[in-house]
Chain A
Amino acid sequence: MAVIELQKLTKYYGKHRGIKNITFDIKEGEIFGFIGPNGAGKSTTIRTLLNFIYPSGGKAFIFGKDVVKDSLAIRRDIGYLPSEVYYYDDMRVSDLLRYSQAFYKKENSRKMKELADRLDLNLNKKIEDLSFGNKKKVGIIQAMLHEPKLLILDEPTGGLDPLIRNAFFELLKEENDRGATIFFSSHILSEVESMCSRVAIIKEGELIKVETIENLIREQFKKVTITFSSQKGKTFKIEGGKKPEWSGNTLQLLYRGEMKNMLQKLNEAEVKDLLIEEPSLDEVFMHYYEH
């Protein structure tokens, strides 16, 4: 069964594009990634799903219910974490979490304490004294506390340090094991890779591709920057290398293939400096446009 279903969902802000004809669906129990650069329309899509904003065209369904007409029923079973969290400065963390729970008519202070412990968050602190990362933790807890069937997370890891990020991913896995479907957006590809079964890629308001992570990784390439110690390096060539660009003795290319082959080739060459990195999303999109 599709938990989320978008049918040609479109949103214009006046004449400005928000999103255009987005169609995809997310199955029950999936961890689904939503990636795209900033301003691509990720948040617009999510806000439309939550009925913060009204679609200009198309339809969307969550749990088979229309997101505009049945928004109230839908939101009973959703946990939402916005990309930037803002809470009431006069409240303590525990006040905010209790306030949040009151809307679901569920109170579970044991789970609240447990989640706060695992994310290393002090429940007695005032919201106004919290750092951005700590506010995000409050956001994570209020999204999970009522054990929703669907978690919608908009750029959830921003501001979290690596240790907490791991704890957060563990929590997500547990929620998923419990049966929750998870939809989360990110502009960091590697993050989505490690968590998701499938991803949707969006750019400039349009859906570019929905892809399984397996395929994505198979097609994945690295950005390689090699600085050679002399002009001799200019003869360097490798199968699977794309878009080579020279500046002086420095070569930059996109590589897709076995890392072993690349290392062997490099070993034979006189390499002074080497940088292998994830391509930026834009470069990934370039790749998709070429296909």
Chain B
Amino acid sequence: MIILKREMNRNMKALIIWTLVISGITILNLMMFPEVAEQQSAIDQLIKQMPESLIKAFGMDRLSMADPLGYYATKGYIMIILFGSIYAVMLAGNMLSKEHNEKTIEFILSKPITRSGIVTQKLLAVFINLLIFNLAITAANYLGFRMADAEFDMNIFLLLSVAPFLLHLVFASISFLLSSQMKKSRNIVSISLGLVFVMYFIDIMSSISGELENLKYVTPYEYVDAVEIVINKSINTTYLGIMAGVISLCALASYLIYRRRDIAV
């Protein structure tokens, strides 16, 4: 696990910065909750003034901002799924390709380690970094709810913490798969960032417009939709299956592709 150790060290700074920023924003967000809850009637008035599509896009038609989880699901959650996915693709996209970009891969490959060993350790590094990131944010969230003195259902809170982690793993595995074949980190990160944003756009579109509703099945944001999770008190099992499938297929394909790839710097 020499490479894993090295990758943990190398990515620590980015992990700390991303964790601090995202959890800072969520805590700040939650600290505003008591005020929002107090002025609920005023805010309901305000929301009614907003365009209907905007209300739908954030699920505010189905959840009350006066409920702490409802508030979180419509406001803070988006930061974690969107910005967290950006972090995830940048982390995973650079994991293998950085060695190719900086031509250090010849050094690693001349050491007694198999290609699969390299992929395993790099994948583990992605997984562990994302796990720490999500655990830290969950802890910050919990702290935020406590500070806001809010009552909430712990099960739903945990579901809302696991779901973003799964989404991050989905995007990370796609990005990692790209890097098992492509050489330039820049292109890999561009493509996967594009995917993160396009999918988000599709998710918004499908929730606004009835005609585009079926589009929602192609975007992983739909699979971890906070409003659905709060209302149903569970994550849809079909969606769980799709996400697990995408993650394992991408990981498996990364092994197969990387093992057969010609590596010339």
- Seen from chain A, the residues whose Cβ lies within 8 Å of a Cβ on chain B are 13, 47, 50-54, 71-73, 75-76, 78, 80, 82, 84-90, 99-100, 102-104, 142
Contact = CB atoms under 8 A, between A and B. Distances in A.
A51 B115 CA distance: 10
A71 B116 CA distance: 12
18 contacts: A13-B262, A50-B110, A51-B109, A52-B263, A53-B263, A71-B114, A72-B112, A75-B110, A75-B111, A80-B106, A82-B107, A86-B102, A86-B103, A86-B104, A86-B106, A87-B107, A88-B104, A103-B2
Nearest to B259: A54
Nearest to A99: B6
B249 to A, nearest CB: 24
Contacts of A76: 112
A50 B109 contact: yes
Interface of B: 2, 6, 10, 102-104, 106-107, 109-114, 260, 262-265
A282 B143 CA distance: 74
A84 B103 contact: yes
Nearest to A75: B112
Contact of B264 (A52, A78, A86, A103): A52
A78 B106 CA distance: 13
B14 to A, nearest CB: 13
A142 B104 CA distance: 13
A54 B2 CA distance: 26
A103 B109 contact: no
Q: For the complex, would chain B's binding face be called helix, strand, loop or mixed by DSSP majority? A: loop
Contacts of A100: 107, 111
Interface core residue of B103, B106, B109, B111 (most chain A CB under 10 Å): B111
Contacts of A75: 110-113
A80 B104 contact: no
Contact of A99 (B2, B112, B264): B2
A108 to B, nearest CB: 16
Nearest to B102: A86
Interface centre among A51, A53, A86 (most CB of B within 10 A): A86
A170 B164 CA distance: 59
Contacts of B104: 86-88
Given A72-B113, A104-B112, A86 B2 contact: no
B179 to A, nearest CB: 17
Nearest to A11: B262
B262 to A, nearest CB: 4
Contacts of A73: 112
Nearest to A102: B2
A176 B131 CA distance: 49
A70 to B, nearest CB: 11
Q: Which of B103, B106, B265 has the largest count of A CB atoms less than 10 A from its CB?
A: B106
B252 to A, nearest CB: 20
Nearest to A50: B110
